Amino acid sequence: MKKTILFIGLFSTKLLCAQNQIVLNADKGKDIIDKNIYGHFAEHLGHCIYGGFYVGDTNKVIPHKDGVRLDVINALKKLKVPVLRWPGGCFADTYHWRDGVGTKKERPSMLNIWWGNVKEDNSFGTNEFLNMCELLGAEPYLSGNVGSGTPQELADWVKYTTHPNGSSPMTDLRQQYGRPNPWKVKFWGLGNEAWGCGGNMKVEYYANVYRQYATFMTNWNNSDRLYRIASGASDADYHWTEVLMKELPANMFDALGLHHYSVINWSKKGSATKFSEEEYFTTMKRALLMEELVTKHSAIMDKYDPQKKKHLAVDEWGGWYDVEPGTNGAFLFQQNTMRDAMIAGATLNIFNNHCDRVKMANLAQIINVLQAVILTKEEKMILTPTYHVMEMYNVHQDATMLPLEVTSNKYILGKDTLTAVWASASKDKNGATHISLVNIDAGKPQSVSINVNGANYRSVTGRILTSDKIQNYNSFENPNKIIPAVYNGAQLSGSKLNVNIPPFSVVVLELK
């Protein structure tokens, strides 16, 4: 009897202290991690555009170029933002682009019905956005109005932005408004959340509407092909993906969207900064569902497109909590803690590992809205923990994904468990390998033993993002409370790499 107890005791201790194991297959890289997985999203919502990006071209206090904040542009350049989705979101299906071009005086005002009924004066429109993307070095992703627009309106937007000078009344208009040459606009969304704020359509109906819009939305006169993205499923709506794959002609689309937010409960989201471990655990459970969503939506796409020519664009993702006390409930302004760093780190690892199908993702949203990378308050600007994860991970952009075999401990809370360690790896164009590791466990460090196959590394360096409380965040008073630090917790010995990751931390290693 005693022996049995001793055996069970030893066994359970071993389980609790078991080392996480990772096999790095350094010679099995095949797929490229599309840089657009590190994309962002900017909607006319709260202070994302107005106050966040754009402070007006007559502003005397905040340094700007044509009204676009230079502090924000400089910070975003360090992230290497590859693609930026605009103007929504729900706003996109109420937006008429002709209202936002021409002299500012000519532009009519409208009410932003989705986001607080505030006045939208259209002072930030197509020219401002596309010029800003050029300044930022990011590709624009225009989200077209299918819900309340017309095929003609969207076809005209394509002409206005991309057709050669002198080829249509739309290109004449562009010239009249100060831009003779087209911009480069490859990415086009045909509606947003067509199942909801984009028109409450059934997928069978949307598939037909999509075909109609896509027919006229081409760049016949331009050698750069458009990349058309259909409004995709919400979360686990696999029927939506199935019908689109069945009904959309292959030559009419390039990707299907997918939206998934990490929300505890839509009617009780909870504070962004004051949360219990139970709430943290639930948020992470929602975030990690992304692994299953991407796997299952991809499996449906595989049935129709085994060669993976059609892509998944996760064009809205991130954490969603209650707004900060005292702020407008429709503006979705929330603080950003180490919990958000965990969402970002784990989710980006999931996207990297699924880079054969996931070719774009857009974090919602870039400034002052939901899981933002930047928060602004008049002339002040702060970088959030999510910003730092994005910056640390930008080494993966356009690198070759190296497959990992991960055996992870569990993060246990009560009777529920989650995988504790989330990882991905890639090899960049200069031959350096990067491994990004996240330990989502709120209480326990994780020691990880990595066996390297197919490469001989001589050195390892690293950076870490961590803090002493998971509720910690950067504030306007203390903007650098959470910033990446040099990490010395990795030891390389032959083909073995041992790493210790503190609780709720993100580590990015460079191996050469």
Binding residues for ligand AHR, rule: CB under 6 A, are 43, 88-90, 192-193, 316, 364-365, 370
Q: Which of 153, 193, 291, 391 is catalytic?
A: 193
Least distance from C-beta 318 to ligand AHR, angstroms? 8
* DSSP per-residue letters across 275-342: --HHHHHHHHHHHHHHHHHHHHHHHHHHHH-TT--SEEEEEEEEE--PPPTTS-TTS-----BHHHHH
Least distance from C-beta 131 to ligand AHR, angstroms? 23
Contacts of 130 (CB under 8 A, 6+ apart): 140, 161, 183, 185
Least distance from C-beta 87 to ligand AHR, angstroms? 10
Q: Which of 128, 139, 316, 391 is catalytic?
A: 316
Comparison of 259 and 463: residue with beta carbon closer to ligand AHR = 259
Least distance from C-beta 207 to ligand AHR, angstroms? 19
Which element (helix H / strand E) includes 451? strand 446-453
* DSSP per-residue letters across 109-178: PEEETTTTTEEE---S-HHHHHHHHHHHT-EEEEEE--SSS-HHHHHHHHHHHHSPTTSSHHHHHHHHTT
What is the C-alpha to C-alpha distance for residues 511 and 128, in angstroms, rounded to an integer?
41
User: Across the strands, what pairs with 505?
Assistant: 439
What is the C-alpha to C-alpha distance for residues 256 and 244, in angstroms, rounded to an integer?
8
What is the C-alpha to C-alpha distance for residues 503 and 464, in angstroms, rounded to an integer?
12
Least distance from C-beta 262 to ligand AHR, angstroms? 13
- Structure-block tokens of residue 257: 């969207």
Comparison of 364 and 392: residue with beta carbon closer to ligand AHR = 364
Count CB neighbours of 249 within 10 A. 10
Q: Which residue has the tokens 């991309």?
A: 162
165 in Cβ contact with 175 (< 8 Å): yes
385 in Cβ contact with 473 (< 8 Å): yes
Report the side by side order of strands in the sheet with 433-439. Answer: 400-402, 421-427, 433-439, 505-511, 460-465, 485-486
Comparison of 154 and 423: residue with beta carbon closer to ligand AHR = 154
Give how far the C-alpha of residue 269 lies from the chain's centroid of Cα atoms, to the nearest Å.
20
Comparison of 46 and 182: residue with beta carbon closer to ligand AHR = 46
Comparison of 370 and 395: residue with beta carbon closer to ligand AHR = 370
Comparison of 81 and 437: residue with beta carbon closer to ligand AHR = 81
Least distance from C-beta 138 to ligand AHR, angstroms? 18
What is the C-alpha to C-alpha distance for residues 278 and 287, in angstroms, rounded to an integer?
14
Nearest to 214 by CA among 173, 237, 244: 244
Torsion of CA 216, 219, 221, 224, to 10 degrees: -170
Comparison of 350 and 363: residue with beta carbon closer to ligand AHR = 363
What is the C-alpha to C-alpha distance for residues 345 and 390, in angstroms, rounded to an integer?
8
Torsion of CA 63, 64, 65, 67, to 10 degrees: -150
Q: Which residue is nearest to ligand AHR (CB)?
A: 89
Comparison of 159 and 260: residue with beta carbon closer to ligand AHR = 260
Least distance from C-beta 89 to ligand AHR, angstroms? 3
120 among known catalytic residues: no
Least distance from C-beta 285 to ligand AHR, angstroms? 20
Contacts of 273 (CB under 8 A, 6+ apart): 335, 337, 471, 473
53 in Cβ contact with 72 (< 8 Å): yes
Comparison of 146 and 435: residue with beta carbon closer to ligand AHR = 146
Least distance from C-beta 437 to ligand AHR, angstroms? 29
Residues serving a catalytic function are 193, 316
